[in-house]
Amino acid sequence: MKIIIHGGFFSESDQSHEVKTAKQNSLKEIARKAFEFLQNHTSEETVVYAVSLLEDDVLFNAGIGSQIQSDGKIRMSASLMNGENQKFSGVINIENVKNPIDVAQVLMKEDDRVLGGIGAKKYAEEYGFKDFSTEIPQRRKEYEEKRINGGKGTVGCVALDQHGNLAAATSTGGKGFELVGRISDSATVAGNFANQYCAVSCTGVGEDIVSNATAAKIVIRVTDGMSIEKAFEKTFTELQEIDGFAGAIGIDKNGNIYHQDSHPTMVFASYDGREFEIFR
């Protein structure tokens, strides 16, 4: 059983040492809780649990930490993929829900598993998700001052359970001040993809991740026999050719964990029940 999570990027130029330490501590605690949860739950259930914890932490750009778009509203996207049954579900630009990843999980039982905007919100209401404002005073202040605090990123989790099944989940609050209707990579297979061989979650500039098909490429290359390390390296070499900004985390069917970023520093934590690895 293995777990790895990410929380976007950290920039020394616009974030303090105190923020860095807070993110390290938070990621370590969430990774620990998620690994404990994994002992008695599936990989799908675990990645949803971990991402919901990240959505509930104001340090990260998802859920209550989400950025504000150009019209002053918050819209979030999230997706889930089960590597065992190859099902993908997600919500795109959903408003006023506490945990978009939970809505994505409910959608797993539907034939229509990716919903956007008003339809996603209506579906959430029909399934008992209460209206919840994810805006916090800090984000409103940032919007009024026309600046973004915290840089580019999303949150995500990849897990391998005791039955050898993989899953990936990703959630984002957007890049801030984007055009209304903009769609990120987080609810696409470019940013979140899994099968029985490998699972990957991405963070960074959505347009770059989509152009590079980052998560899907890595997983397909592992499926075709490439090692997870080589699959990451080749995919990120191709990302560099378009000057792409991204980071990714992954686990293969053998429990090998790997992560890479094109621009330092992706914030992440992994745990296997014995050792933590945390970004520095």
Provide the 3-class DSSP secondary structure of residue 237: helix
137 secondary structure, DSSP code:
H
- Domain hosting 55: range is 2-278
Tell me the whole-structure pTM to 2 decimals. 0.94
Provide the pLDDT for residue 257. 98
Q: Which of 154, 170, 172, 214 is catalytic?
A: 154
Per-residue model confidence (pLDDT) at position 150: 43
Query: What is the reported pLDDT for 147?
Result: 45
End-to-end CA distance of the chain: 24
pLDDT value of position 148: 42
Length in residues, the chain: 280
Amino acid at 264: P
Distance CA 249, CA 266 (A): 10
Give the integer Cα–Cα distance in Å for 106 and 128.
11
Residue 235 known to be catalytic: no
Longest dimension (CA), the chain: 50
Query: What residue numbers does the annotated binding site for substrate cover?
Result: 182-185, 203-206
φ and ψ at residue 4, rounded to 5 degrees: -145, 140
Question: How many domains are there within the chain?
Answer: 1
Q: Which residues are annotated as a binding site?
A: 182-185, 203-206
Of 22, 51, 21, 57, the residue nearest 37 (C-alpha):
51
Identify the pLDDT of residue 13.
Answer: 65
Split the chain (280 residues) into runs of 10 and give each run's mean pLDDT: 95 81 96 98 98 96 92 95 98 97 98 97 97 78 54 86 98 92 96 98 97 98 98 98 97 98 95 94
Residue 246 sits in a domain of what CATH number? 3.60.20.30
